[in-house]
Structure 1
Amino acid sequence: MLNKKIGILALAVVLTTSVLVGCSKKNNDDSGNEIKGNITSVGSSALLPLAESAGKEFSKIHPDVIVNVQGGGSGQGLSQIIAGTVEVGNSDIFIEEKNITNNEIKDNKVAVVGVGPVINKNIKIDNITGQQLKDIFTGKIKNWKEVGGPDLNIVLINRAEGSGTRSTFEKFGLGGVKSAKAQEQDNSGSVQKIVAQTPGAISYLSFSYFNDTIKALKIDGVEPNAESVGKNDWKIWSYEHMYTRKDANRATIEFIEFVRSDEVQKNVVAELGYIPINVMKVERNAQGEITELK
């Protein structure tokens, strides 16, 4: 009788242990710890700081996933995701703006980026009008004294053609007018350094590249900050898109979900100078039309 009771007890222990192990394995799978693979994320240099930071944090949670982040501009991001050579194509512009229709591509809006004019910090002005901004970048105004600054020639610095930052700036800052011919830089980091080092320089950068080595200008008295973008008082902004294939692998899908999560939006996105999607009071479509959010 005693042996029978011991046998029953042993069987119960085995069954209980099996259930616990099974639950543990299921929970481990659900937590995503089994994700493996490489994610290559290419494109917008305005989105580069967020993509790099989010990639590092994601790899800490999922050590078997390597997130390789590269710049190259929004055009590069779109062309490579369409070609299927990368897992994520980063862009400051809607794919429709390039007159591309591709039903295999999914648009994931991960943040909003504000873009603003920046000047060498030794130029003693803080504010210009929208018309003055247009006249400077189209070459009508050539000296800073014409807008209340020093007697110093204006040095224009552009992003390269295909840059989403340039597209956003020309579309919403210059009213759709093309900037005058000037030296061009392939990435925002280079623009930041050149403006800081060049007397008389002016260019444009996303807010995430603003720092104390350069000066960001107000336009018509409006500060370039998250609050003014959120209300559309500051007009020069765009969405940051992480385009993926609709048949993306599990690691890529979970990476995008991670970037869009409340934790990343509230912390990483905001800390890096972007505007979280959920703080916007308006939304904008590919045609530039604004709708107020309720």
Structure 2
Amino acid sequence: MMFKQSKVFAVSMSIVLSMGLLAGCGGKEEAKKNESTPTAKVEEISGTVTASGSSALLPLVKQAATEFQDKNPKVTVNVTAGGSGTGLKNVADGTSNIGNSDVESGAEYKDKGLVDHIVAVAPFALIVNKDVNIENLTKAQAADIFSGKITNWKEVGGADKKITIVNRPDSSGSRKLVKQIVLGSADFAKGGVEQESSGAMKTAVAQTTGSIGYVDSPYIDAEVKALKFDGVAYSKETIKDGSYKLFGIEHMYTKGEATGAVKAFIDYILSPDFQNKRIEELKFLPATFLKK
């Protein structure tokens, strides 16, 4: 009887050990399988992005560059101004990866392979020194001032004070925008004070008695007075309903389709997170704002 029990016990242990060995082999096989299956890697973005041009768009692009570099530490984004004309020339020549512009590229760039990325809407305003005691200019009055027909504020209901025009250079997209919307076929008057950037324009108007200039909304602060245009103050609502006409569509041009870090940077600016949260904080409006 003892012999039979011992035999049964031996057979049972043999089965248990066999199952353990099989399980161990299975585990090793599964481990080998897992080791041989490659894990998908997320490619890390790296490289240098250069962007130049519009000083009106500069606050947005600089802020986006800071945030993008924080998220992508192997990318360097270098942003400079110089005016929309400079940005367009630089991107067409290959000097910059991105050309920032307040206006569409002209006919001279038709065959340069430029690709347009609309990134924002920028409200602009006519600004005056705080000693100018008017609140509004009609389009006709503004055109006559910038073209030199009106030279004294008393001619538009202000004090007897000489008007000093603060202007941007010919390469400026802001200047082109004001010419298109305000002056039309007329030309800017010769002379006056010329400033290379929107920031310098704002400072010059703030410091020059009787002066007038133009900037987009990120540069407007308590140091200057923003005028109503045709009786309408700039705002999100008045641009949307069409009653305020002085605004620009902001462009970031690339030569050919953007790739690599350049594409990733533009995609970041156009991302819902940046467009819906940051754009208006920076005093711009989203790229799709005027689309129905």
TM-score normalised over the length of structure 1: 0.87
Matched residue, 1:5:
23
1:217 positional shift: 0.3
1:198 positional shift: 1.1
2:185 & 2:68 partners in 1: Cα distance? 38
Matched residue, 1:286:
none
Equivalent of 1:127, from 112, 116, 136? Answer: 136
- Which amino acid letter does the alignment assign opposite residue 133 of structure 1? A
1:6-32 C-alpha deviation (Å, 9 max, x unpaired):
12113323434665x604x2xx33xxx
SS in structure 1 at match of 2:131: coil
Within a 5 Å distance, the mapping from 1:1-294 to structure 2 comes to: 1=18, 2-16=20-34, 19=37, 22-23=39-40, 25=41, 28-29=42-43, 34-95=44-105, 97-102=106-111, 104-181=113-190, 182-281=192-291, 293=292
SS in structure 1 at match of 2:279: helix
| Kept after mapping to 1: 8 A contact 2:167/2:193 | yes
SS in structure 1 at match of 2:212: strand
1:227-263 C-alpha deviation (Å, 9 max, x unpaired):
2223332222221110012253311111111111111
Distance 1:135 1:192, change over 3 A: same
SS in structure 2 at match of 1:270: coil
Number of residue pairs aligned between Structure 1 and Structure 2: 273
1:71 positional shift: 0.3
TM-score normalised over the length of structure 2: 0.88
Distance 1:3 1:250, change over 3 A: same
1:99 positional shift: 3.3
Which ranges of structure 1 fall in alignment gaps of 5 or more residues? Answer: 282-292
1:78-99 C-alpha deviation (Å, 9 max, x unpaired):
111111121111111111x343
SS in structure 2 at match of 1:264: helix
Moved more, 40-49 or 232-241: 232-241
Distance 1:222 1:17, change over 3 A: farther
- Which amino acid letter does the alignment assign opposite residue 194 of structure 2? E
| Kept after mapping to 1: 8 A contact 2:122/2:249 | yes
- Which amino acid letter does the alignment assign opposite residue 137 of structure 1? F
- Which amino acid letter does the alignment assign opposite residue 119 of structure 1? V
Distance 1:82 1:124, change over 3 A: same
1:155 & 1:213 partners in 2: Cα distance? 17
1:13 & 1:146 partners in 2: Cα distance? 88
2:107 & 2:221 partners in 1: Cα distance? 31
**Poorly superposed stretches of 4+, deviation over 4 Å:** none
Which ranges of structure 2 fall in alignment gaps of 5 or more residues? Answer: 1-17
2:107 & 2:53 partners in 1: Cα distance? 15
1:125 positional shift: 1.6
